[in-house]
Amino acid sequence: MPRKEREVTMRRPLMAGNWKMFLDIPGAGKLAEELVSGTKNVTDRDILVCPSFPLLSRVAQAVEGSAVQLGAQNLYYEESGVFTGEVSAAMLRSVPCSYVIVGHSERRHVFGESDELVGKKVASALKQGLRVILCVGELLEEREEGNTKRVVKRQIERGLDGVEEAALEDVVVAYEPVWAIGTGKTATPKDADNVHAYIRTVLSTKFSKTAASEMRILYGGSVKPENVDGLMAKANIDGALVGGASLKSESFLRIIKFET
Ligand code: PEP
């Protein structure tokens, strides 16, 4: 694989699939098995799938001993208690999941999750040994009003409120412009890279420059086999969070095996 600027920075790409509220137990098991067999020779990047809660155990069984890691799409910040319908970090650890997505735009905008709630979820997940993918991104009207930077800065600062620098090695940020999720519209590689560079500046102000330079920032929003190579060629794009195109092994395997 040709070398590129990003490799110099030592950030290992993370290619993550968000299966959202799709699939059933047999379908998730089959997809996970196809991903395991299709990535046997992939050693230079991390691979993650995030199925919905009822599918986690079956997928855990399918990916055990492979390079495919398992994550959940959400959690609640309390450790246990009378919270009907909620799932704790400890429950996810026991599956075992290693990652959890927090603050996905569908959680923020369909289920009304605030920055404060997202911050509590991040803190709880980290405290209980999960790695976090913190999603940030602006709505179309926020972009059109020129507020992209303001929105992602607020989401990063509040999402990582109280997080110690030492815990940052377990945090990945995903920049997902809301107008690009599930719409077929993708930010251009240049636009996405610019926002990623800005996110790194925000991180280096809140934490140290070194910590910011080591953090992985994924792009999400209609990533497909046709556009992944161009996105991954950018210096500040360290991986992808993929929705629709992660639901079929053929397209997700092509995305995982991006070439720059
Ligand atoms: C997502 O679910 O995080 C996502 C980016 O979805 P899609 O790839 O379908 O736009």
Residue 14: its pLDDT value, please? 98
Ligand 1 pocket test: pick from 176, 219, 231, 246 the residue with the most ligand atoms within 8 Å of its Cβ: 176
Q: 28-256, which class in CATH?
A: alpha beta
CA-atom Rg of the chain in angstroms: 17
> Among 163, 240, 149, which residue's Cα sits nearest to residue 195?
149
The one-letter amino acid code at 44 reads: D
Q: Judge if the beta carbon of residue 18 lies within 6 A of ligand 1.
A: yes
Interatomic CA distance for residues 59 and 70, integer angstroms: 8
Residue 6: its pLDDT value, please? 44
Q: What is the reported pTM?
A: 0.95
Cite the active site residues. 104, 176
| Residue of the CA atom closest to atom 1 of ligand 1 | 243
Residue 9: its pLDDT value, please? 55
What DSSP string describes the chain?
----HHHHTTPPPEEEEE-TT---HHHHHHHHHHHHHHTTT--SSEEEEE--GGGHHHHHHHHTTSSEEEEES--BSSSSSS-TT--BHHHHHTTT--EEEES-HHHHHTS---HHHHHHHHHHHHHTT-EEEEEE---HHHHHTT-HHHHHHHHHHHHTTT--GGGGGGEEEEE--GGGTTSS----HHHHHHHHHHHHHHHHHHS-HHHHHHSEEEEESS--TTTHHHHHTSTT--EEEESGGGSSHHHHHHHHT---
Q: How far is the CA of 245 from the centre of ligand 1 (A)?
A: 8
Residue 186: its pLDDT value, please? 84
Q: How far is the CA of 81 from the centre of ligand 1 (A)?
A: 32
Q: Judge if the beta carbon of residue 51 lies within 6 A of ligand 1.
A: no
Interatomic CA distance for residues 13 and 45, integer angstroms: 5
Atom of ligand 1 nearest to the CA of 105: 3
Q: How far is the CA of 137 from the centre of ligand 1 (A)?
A: 12
Q: Judge if the beta carbon of residue 162 lies within 6 A of ligand 1.
A: no
Residue that the structure tokens 């195109």 belong to: 245
Q: Judge if the beta carbon of residue 244 lies within 6 A of ligand 1.
A: yes
> Among 236, 243, 178, which residue's Cα sits nearest to residue 4?
236
Q: Are residues 236 and 198 in contact, defined by beta-carbon separation less than 8 angstroms?
A: no
Domain spans of the chain, in order of start: 28-256
Q: Are residues 87 and 124 in contact, defined by beta-carbon separation less than 8 angstroms?
A: no
Burial code of 197-221, b = ≥16 C-beta within 10 A, e = fewer? ebbbebbeebbeeebbeebbbbbbb
Q: Judge if the beta carbon of residue 181 lies within 6 A of ligand 1.
A: yes
Ligand 1 pocket test: pick from 242, 246, 247, 252 the residue with the most ligand atoms within 8 Å of its Cβ: 242
Task: Going from the first residue of the chain to its last (260 residues), give the mean pLDDT of each consecutive group of 10, the final group possibly shorter.
Answer: 48 98 98 98 97 98 98 98 98 98 97 98 98 97 96 98 96 96 90 97 97 97 97 97 98 97
Q: How far is the CA of 155 from the centre of ligand 1 (A)?
A: 18
Which structure tokens are listed for 155?
């989401």
